[in-house]
């Protein structure tokens, strides 16, 4: 159980939450929600004792699993050891035991200490710890042959997976997970969901993945109106309850205001006459009818509307027999795409799905023209103009170090004046002085919203989006979904956000370990079709990803 008592956190003039008292009970799984800037990560850091509250107290269990956000802090550690470090008691005992065992001579006191350490290791299941850690690593996609290599050998996304396993390891009494679905593909998200559904302790998780919150959470702890309110049920249930509660308060206030107005009219008419005693009674009733103060919500939703300068031809993209190969570290050649062909028509919204490392980013980079296929051709249609949202968008924005958000966007304008640019920035929640924020200091969510503002400004008729939802909050993801659906042009986008793909895509390209499938229908239809593959004739399969030396694809860790 986690107990929060009279907690307040403020920064100069901004109050995130004030005098909050809540209890997070054992056996419940809480989604911590609220818009970017509401204080979710700050609250999580306070629970982790990584940041001080302005006032108040927090009580947490002794054994807590925490998802670390620094993917590089364990670079010099073995992968398996990084996981074992999730159990602090066990890891401390193992380290001390190894240190004592390295001594050339042992005193009686040292021997006694070794015996005590062996008891601790036994109590913490230390003799099966590596086996349990290995099973968790394999479950989330880290193969056995990598477990004793250093963390620095892994790319960032797989380092993050190891840190998730570290948090889960050691049967913690509480789990504190901040955006655990970042960098995860759908298969890994499903694995994480299954593990969390079996977890018996207290879970508090921050996520922008609506589907994930709906699947995992038994309760929602919503940060808004400078407080934290706990709602039973998943995210969708919270939204309904929150809207109803707000509407009820507004209706009560409206009824009270009408009653007060009627009572005040009576007092004004008869306050000094023969009915003054009745007027005094009305005055007391007015005092009792207190209007409930409705604080302003923190929720801000961007307005995303992609427009086009001119439409493209009917055939927006034609991909014919393309192949792409990469040289692996051992010198062998891995073919990630082999003889792939498909067509995209004007107005199509194509969702690209599949595990990391199978070639999704490679395909988008080739369509954009940033990378050439080894074989075959990619032909854009008549009057097609492309706008690109790269996976490493933050580094692209920060490449113009020293610029503020307005200046950065101004660099892409043609004839638009400052008022038009301010309008685009305002739509993406850069109002007032926020438009003058330096791009170097922008958060991941702010960087993503600034790049979306650029795409709206340029008005291209073909958008290529590589994981655009990373670091966006739920409101922004919902706005992006509507923006894609209502866009009169063509979109191809990679995403692991199942709600976005289900709501926005009308065609699917699915990357699998040994094939790529092009499906001319929605994601839900594709999933249904996949379960009945033998009788479905709509799907065109392309054999792909065949290593020249038949080495397993699991050895490739780049998100190609």
Which residues are bridge partners to 334 per DSSP? 326, 547
> How many C-alpha atoms does 443 have within 13 Å on its Cβ side?
11
The answer to the question of residue 7 being in a domain is no
Please give the helix or strand (H or E) that residue 503 lies within, else none: helix 498-504
- And the tokens for 59? 């009580």
Identify the pLDDT of residue 540. Answer: 55
Positive or negative, the CA dihedral 361, 366, 369, 374 is positive
DSSP state at residue 167:
H
Count of H-run helices and E-run strands, the chain = 18, 19
- Residue 548 and residue 464 share a domain: yes
Predicted TM-score (pTM) of the model is 0.74
Question: Side-chain half-sphere of 257: how many Cα atoms within 13 Å?
Answer: 8
CA separation for the pair 273, 491 (Å, rounded): 74
Is 134 domain-assigned?
Answer: no
Q: Residues with Cβ < 8 Å from 166, sequence gap 6 or more?
A: 65, 68, 82, 83, 85, 86
Identify whether residues 325 and 445 lie together within a single domain: no
Same domain, 412 and 476: no
CATH number at residue 530: 3.40.50.300
Looking at residue 17, what is its pLDDT?
A: 86
Same domain, 368 and 421: no
Domain count, the chain: 3
Domain holding 268, by residue range, is: 238-288
Furthest CA-CA distance within the chain: 105
| 227-232, strands of its sheet edge to edge | 64-66, 174-178, 202-206, 29-33, 219-224, 227-232
pLDDT on residue 273: 65
Please check whether residues 477 and 423 belong to one and the same domain: no
Both structure tokens of 57: 């107290």
Do 452 and 349 share a structural domain?
A: no
From first to last of the 560 residues of the chain, give the pLDDT tens digit.
999 999 999 887 788 888 999 999 999 999 999 877 778 888 999 999 888 999 999 999 989 999 988 888 899 999 999 999 999 999 999 988 988 888 888 888 888 989 999 899 898 888 999 999 999 999 998 999 999 999 999 888 889 999 999 999 988 999 999 989 887 888 888 899 999 999 999 999 998 888 999 999 999 999 887 788 899 999 888 888 887 776 676 677 777 777 777 777 777 777 666 667 777 777 777 777 666 565 655 567 889 999 999 999 999 999 999 999 888 777 788 888 999 999 999 999 999 998 887 889 999 999 999 899 999 999 999 999 999 999 887 777 877 778 899 999 998 887 778 899 999 999 998 988 889 988 888 888 888 999 999 999 999 999 999 999 888 888 889 899 999 999 999 999 999 888 899 999 999 999 887 888 899 999 989 888 876 654 444 455 555 454 444 333 333 333 44
**Secondary structure element (H or E) that encloses residue 17, with its range:** strand 14-24
Does residue 41 fall inside a structural domain? no
In this prediction, residue 40 carries a pLDDT of 87
Separation CA 103–CA 467 (nearest Å): 52
Looking at the domain assignment, is residue 439 inside a domain? yes
């Amino acid at each position: 159980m986690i107990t929060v008592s009279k907690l307040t956190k403020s920064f100069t003039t901004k109050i995130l939450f004030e005098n909050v008292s809540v209890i997070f009970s054992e056996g419940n799984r809480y989604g911590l929600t609220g818009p970017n800037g509401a204080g979710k990560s700050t609250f999580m850091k306070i629970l982790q004792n990584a940041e001080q509250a302005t006032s108040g107290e927090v009580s947490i269990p002794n054994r807590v699993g925490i998802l670390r956000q620094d993917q590089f802090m364990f670079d010099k550690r073995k992968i398996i050891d990084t996981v074992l470090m999730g159990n602090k008691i066990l890891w401390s005992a193992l380290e001390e035991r190894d240190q004592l065992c390295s001594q050339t001579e042992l005193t009686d006191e040292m021997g006694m200490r070794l015996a005590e350490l062996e008891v601790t290791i036994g109590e913490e299941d230390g003799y099966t710890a590596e086996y349990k850690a290995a099973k968790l690593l394999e479950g989330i996609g880290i193969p056995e042959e990598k477990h004793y290599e250093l963390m620095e050998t892994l790319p960032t996304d797989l380092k993050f997976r190891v840190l998730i396993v570290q948090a889960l390891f050691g049967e913690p009494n509480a789990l504190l997970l901040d955006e655990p679905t970042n960098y995860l593909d759908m298969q890994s998200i499903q694995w994480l969901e299954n593990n969390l559904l079996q977890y018996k302790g207290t879970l508090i998780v921050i996520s922008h993945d609506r589907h994930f919150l709906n699947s995992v959470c038994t309760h929602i702890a919503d940060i808004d109106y400078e407080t934290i309110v706990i709602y039973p049920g998943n995210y969708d249930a919270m939204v309904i309850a929150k809207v109803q509660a707000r509407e009820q308060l507004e209706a009560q206030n409206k009824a009270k205001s009408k009653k007060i107005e009627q009572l005040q009219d009576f007092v004004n008419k008869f306050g000094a006459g023969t009915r003054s005693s009745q007027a005094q009674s009305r005055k007391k009733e007015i005092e009792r009818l207190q209007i409930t103060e409705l604080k302003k919500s923190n929720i801000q939703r961007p307005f995303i509307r992609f427009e086009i300068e001119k439409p493209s031809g009917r055939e927006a993209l034609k991909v014919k027999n393309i192949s792409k190969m990469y040289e692996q570290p051992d010198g062998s050649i891995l073919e990630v795409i082999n003889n792939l062909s498909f067509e995209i028509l004007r107005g199509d919204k194509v969702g690209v799905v599949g595990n990391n490392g199978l070639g999704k980013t490679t395909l988008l980079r080739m369509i954009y023209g940033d990378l050439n296929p080894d074989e075959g051709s990619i032909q854009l249609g008549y009057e097609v103009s492309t706008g690109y949202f790269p996976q490493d968008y933050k580094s692209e924005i920060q490449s113009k170090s020293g610029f503020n958000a307005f200046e950065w966007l101004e660099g892409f304008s043609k004839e638009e004046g400052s008022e038009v640019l301010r309008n685009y920035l305002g739509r993406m929640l850069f109002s007032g002085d926020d438009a003058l924020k330096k791009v170097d200091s922008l958060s991941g969510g702010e960087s993503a919203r600034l790049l979306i503002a650029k795409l709206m400004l340029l008005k291209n008729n073909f958008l290529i989006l590589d994981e655009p939802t990373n670091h966006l909050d739920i409101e922004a993801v919902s706005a992006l979904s509507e923006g894609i659906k209502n866009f009169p042009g063509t979109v191809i986008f990679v995403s692991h956000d199942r709600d976005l793909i289900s709501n926005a895509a009308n065609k699917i390209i699915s990357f699998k370990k040994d094939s790529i499938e092009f499906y001319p229908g929605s994601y839900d239809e594709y999933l249904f079709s996949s379960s009945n593959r033998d009788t479905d004739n709509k799907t065109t399969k392309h054999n792909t990803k065949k290593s020249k030396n038949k080495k397993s694809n699991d050895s490739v860790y780049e998100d190609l």
